[in-house]
Amino acid sequence: MLGHLGINVDDLTATKKYYDAVMPMLGFDEFFTADDEFSYRPANGKPGTYLFFYPSAEPSQYSRHRTGLQHLAFRVRTRSLVHDVHGLVTTTLIPQFGGEVLHRPQVFPQYPQPYFATFWLDPRGLLLEAVCHHDRD
């Protein structure tokens, strides 16, 4: 199991506002915040990977199509939660911060079933996914 992932971003303050809005719905709590980083951990003491954000030391344009990080997938307990995340993204996050939905909540038959997910881009182009590996709501 991965202990943590670190992601460099061009605007730490704006990125924190975005992720503070979505991470609780994805099952994460804030771990700590400092002037030069912030982080989240799985909620309620559950085991899992922590996520850290740092300011970029060099300017660059991120692309999920280049070598490097392609996307982050967050497992959620129910298909209803996939819909709830999609609702938050479309009604609150995209209008306030920017981004784009690439795939509305749906079954992806090309992946091992059950696989129900939504995919979207955060304001900086990072591909995010909320996925449920259950047939339950």
* Model pLDDT, residue 5: 96
Q: What percent of the chain has pLDDT over 90?
A: 93
Q: Give me the mean pLDDT over the 40-54 stretch.
A: 96
- pTM for this entry: 0.95
Distance CA 31, CA 119 (A): 25
Categorize the per-residue pLDDT at 26 as very low, low, confident or very high, splitting at 50, 70 and 90.
Answer: very high
Q: What is the pLDDT of residue 104?
A: 98
CB 120 within 8 A of CB 95: no
Contact partners, residue 80, CB within 8 Å, separation at least 6: 137
**pLDDT greater than 90 at residue 119:** yes
pLDDT of residue 60: 86
How confident is the model over 14-33, as a mean pLDDT? 97
Residues 6+ apart with CB under 8 A from 112: none
pLDDT tens column, 56-82: 999 888 899 999 999 999 999 999 999
Q: Report residue 31's pLDDT band, with 50, 70 and 90 as the boundaries.
A: very high
Sign of the alpha-carbon torsion through 93, 39, 49, 121 = positive
**Mean pLDDT, the chain, integer:** 96
* Tens-digit pLDDT profile for residues 87-99: 999 999 999 999 9
pLDDT of residue 61: 85
101 - beta bridge partners?
120
| Domains assigned to the chain | 4-56+68-132 (3.10.180.10)
